[in-house]
Amino acid sequence: MKRQPRFELNRAAIRAQARASVGDISAGQRCRPTIRALNEVLSTQLLQEMIVRRHLYKGMGDTTEQEAFLSSFLMQLADNGHQIAEAIVALGGSPDFSPSNLSSSIVCYYESDCWEDVLINELAATQVLVGHYRTFGRVLSACDPSGSSLAAFLLNEALERGEHFRTRLRQAGIDPAGFRQRLGLVHSVE
């Protein structure tokens, strides 16, 4: 009688196949700091949206052109927030929309009834974001190379937005380079 071949369980191969079917479990661990940073950026976008909405509701845009500028900025912030939330989900996280966590924003909430102060504060916030996006792009590429394109997109938008604010300040007769002294900033992140 012919002997049946002995059945052997190749546990290493089974484990490797199981890991391959669910993906790299450690990727979620590596991405936690990135997800946390993305949620900080998201809270910043949400806070800036609230500030711009306040300006619109208070009639801060004295002219139709100023109102259109603020409305366009608001739409840009909303679109960016949407993209950031999608990136968080793509990395396996949950976007944090909790109002109590807006304090993790990179910028501070402010109220002003002066158009020039709005421009100065938004330029300052934009410069903070530019520095953050530059750093964030390098960190994000280590966790999710496709996510670095989001950071590059946000950086380019912030740089462009900063130029728009500088132009508006010049139109209002304010030297954009002098805004740092007005806010008490020693140097900028450019």
User: Tens digit of pLDDT for each residue in 161-170?
Assistant: 889 888 888 8
- Taking the domains of the chain in order of start, what are their residue ranges? 30-183
DSSP 1: -
Average pLDDT score, the chain:
76
Q: Hey, what CATH topology would domain 30-183 get?
A: Ferritin (1.20.1260)
Single-letter amino acid code for the residue at 7? F
Q: What's the pLDDT band for 177 if we cut at 50, 70, 90? A: confident
User: Tens digit of pLDDT for each residue in 121-156?
Assistant: 888 888 888 888 888 777 777 666 656 778 888 889
More confident residue, 72 or 66: 72
Query: What are the C-alpha distances in Å from 176 to residues 14, 15, 69, 74, 151?
Result: 63, 60, 18, 22, 25
Please say if the pLDDT value at position 98 is more than 70: yes
> Stretch 4-9: mean pLDDT, rounded?
52
Find where tokens 């421009």 sit. 119
Phi and psi torsions of 2, nearest 5° = -80, 135
DSSP 172: T
pLDDT at 174: 82
> Stretch 14-18: mean pLDDT, rounded?
54
pLDDT at 5: 52
Q: Which of 17-31, 42-56, 90-104 has the lowest mean pLDDT?
A: 17-31
Round to whole Å and give the CA distance between 113 and 176: 19
Is residue 45 within 8 A of residue 73, CB to CB? The reply is no
Round to whole Å and give the CA distance between 159 and 44: 16
Query: What are the C-alpha distances in Å from 60 to residues 103, 118, 140?
Result: 25, 9, 36
pTM of the complete model: 0.70
